[in-house]
Structures are given as structure tokens and as C-alpha cells.
Homo-oligomer: A and B are copies of this chain.
Amino acid sequence: MTKPTQQNEKTLKEIAELVKGTLEGDPQKIIKGVNSLEAATPDEISFFSNPRYLEKAKNSKAGAILVRDKSGLEGKNLIIVEDPYLAICILLDEFYPLTKRFEGISSLAFVHPYASIGEGVSILPFSYIGKNTKIGENTFIASHVYIGDEVEIGKECVIYPMVSIYSNCSIGDRCIIHSGVVIGSDGFGFAWDKNRYRKLNHIGKVVIEEDVEIGSNTTIDRATFGETRIGKGTKIDNLVQIGHNVKIGKNCAIVAQVGISGSTEIGNNVIIGGQVGIVGHIKIEDDVKIGAKSGVHRDLKRGEIVSGIPVLPHKEWLKLNLIFQRLLMKDKW
């Protein structure tokens, strides 16, 4: 995988159609790439959505800017769209298409004779594919990847270096797994036996559904029995810990350094802020939002928005912080 390089140029008229936006400015202006407000040249397009950056937008040399509304930026070439971030996402794909280099199977890789490798699969040097493991077509396996025995990997996945996938796990189509991820290590389960911890032999597995992306150095433990499961389209950031038998639904976003303890169930479209900790054996329903650094000790109902350690409804948590401010101001010492 190399950094994609710019391959297209388009007029603002073409771009406005592509992102379903309204152009205010010169339809014939040619755009050759995408960049940040500060760095964009008059050949490039940028986007403005965070109000913090209004001054940067005003001073930008960008040839055009994707905006939600034009206030404060009159006179520039603007394309008005509902979601500038989505629009820039579409343009990044358009101007810098990611081309997965087909490299075939390196003679420096170890592929078990009983592994089954689909067409168009690349396996780079020093990667290891175990016995009875299946790799779906057009999947790209970088160098230094370990895939154990009896694993199933879907089609069109990208697996970066230093990824470890223990035996018996399965990964859906189009997943992206970044460096250092560990999938299927044993859960943290020990029974106290007189005077020592005795290890629970973990006989379950991990199932990752389609279109999941997993950030660097994240760890996902195998189930004691049954499975640990990550739902379709869920995105997980770096250094996240997911315990044994956790179930996560579809289209969740889990920010860096979150920890989810064993057997907890999480619904669909849940958003979990960075460094949140969640105890085991609880249930978090669909559409919940959990503020960064929170500690979740109880079930959360559909659509709840919570913050704090332990979590409170987000509005109460804000109010509690104001109460603390008043206590500080009143204090006479």
C-alpha cells in the first residue's frame, strides 16, 4: 500500500455535481487536489466545518472551499453542501484513489500447504498463514502478519504489518486491520483455586463482520465459549481493549484507548469517546453516546447520552461541574 497520488483534475462545476452541492463562484475553475485550509493552493479545494477555523477559512488561498453556508466567506469560490466533511471524503476518493498494489505471494512468506488462498491475494515477506486457513480474493496481507490455523479472512481486506490473528477467528469482507492489532488472544479469565489463579481454557473465537476497520495496537480477546463479535461497519480506533465475549453491533464508532470488559453487549450506532471504560456483563442499547473518559458501570437505554465516572446523563454531568465551580467560588479559605 503506498500513499495515493493525485490523478485527476476537475472543474468546480463537475465537483459541485459530484458532492451534490450548490456552487457560488466560477464553474470553469480547475481543481487539481484537496488540502487543508492553511496549506491549500489556488489549484486545490478545502473544506470549512468547524467554526473554530473561520479565520483560517477567510485567509485560505484555496481555489474553492466546501461550506455549510457562505456567511463570512462571501467573494470566495464556495460549494454549499449539507456536510462539508462528507463532501471532502468523496473528493479524497476522487482525486486520490487508493490503488492496492498486487504483489502476489512472496517466496519469503510461509503459507501452510493446506491453506486456501483466493485469486488476487498478495502476501508479503515474513508473513505466516496457518493450516486450513482461507484468505478471500484480492485481500492484501502486508509483511510480518501472523494468521493462525483455521482462520477465515474475507475478500478485499487489507491487513497491515505485525497483525496477529489467533487460530479459529474469522474476519469479514473489506476489513482494514492496522499494525499491531491482536485478534483472538485469550480472555482474562482465571478462577481462584485455593492459593493461586487457575487459567480458564478459552475455547471460543472472535468474529469480525464486514467493513470493520481496526486501529493500531488494538486487542480483541477470544470468547471463553462462543464468540466475541464486532458488527458490520463498526470502526475501532487505536489501542482499544475488547474483552472476551463482548458483542458490538453495527456502525459503532469506538475512539482510542477505550476498554470494554468481558461479556458486555453493545447495540448499533453507539459512539464511545476516547479512554472510556465499560464494566463487564452490562447492556448498552442502540444510539447511545458516551463522553470521553467516562466510566460506565450500568446498563444504558436506547439513545442515552452520558458522561462522568461513574456516568450520569450528560446534562447532569455538565450541571455537576457548574456546581463544583460554585463550591470553589464560595469557599473562603
- A217 to B221 Cα, complex, angstroms: 12
Query: Range of interface residues on chain A?
Result: 35 or more
Q: When the two chains form their complex, are residues A192 and B295 in contact, meaning their CB atoms are under 8 A apart?
A: no
Copies of this chain, count: 3
- A92 to B204 Cα, complex, angstroms: 11
Residue on B nearest A254 in the bound complex, by CB: B188
Q: When the two chains form their complex, are residues B215 and A217 in contact, meaning their CB atoms are under 8 A apart?
A: no
Among B2, B92, B110, B148, which residue has its beta carbon within 8 angstroms of that of A149? Answer: B2
- Residues of chain B within 8 A (CB-CB) of A275 are 259, 275, 277, 295
The distance from the CB of A157 to the nearest CB of chain B, in whole angstroms, is: 13
Q: When the two chains form their complex, are residues A256 and B238 in contact, meaning their CB atoms are under 8 A apart?
A: no
The distance from the CB of A307 to the nearest CB of chain B, in whole angstroms, is: 9
Mark out the residues of chain A between 223 and 264 whose CB falls within 8 Å of any chain B CB in the assembled complex. 224-226, 233, 235, 237-239, 241, 243, 245, 251, 253, 255-257, 259, 261
Asked if A104 is at the interface (CB within 8 A of a chain B CB), the reply is no
Asked if A119 is at the interface (CB within 8 A of a chain B CB), the reply is no
Q: When the two chains form their complex, are residues B197 and A233 in contact, meaning their CB atoms are under 8 A apart?
A: yes
Q: When the two chains form their complex, are residues A36 and B225 in contact, meaning their CB atoms are under 8 A apart?
A: yes
- Residues of chain B within 8 A (CB-CB) of A88 are 191, 200
Asked if A139 is at the interface (CB within 8 A of a chain B CB), the reply is no
As a 0/1 sequence over residues 193 to 209 of chain A, the CB contacts with chain B under 8 angstroms (1 = contact) are 10111111101010000
Asked if A120 is at the interface (CB within 8 A of a chain B CB), the reply is no
Mark out the residues of chain A between 256 and 296 whose CB falls within 8 Å of any chain B CB in the assembled complex. 256-257, 259, 261, 274-275, 277, 279, 281, 292-293, 295
- Given contacts A90-B198, A241-B256, A257-B257, 8 further A-B pairs with CB under 8 A are A3-B205, A89-B190, A89-B193, A89-B200, A92-B200, A188-B235, A196-B233, A257-B259
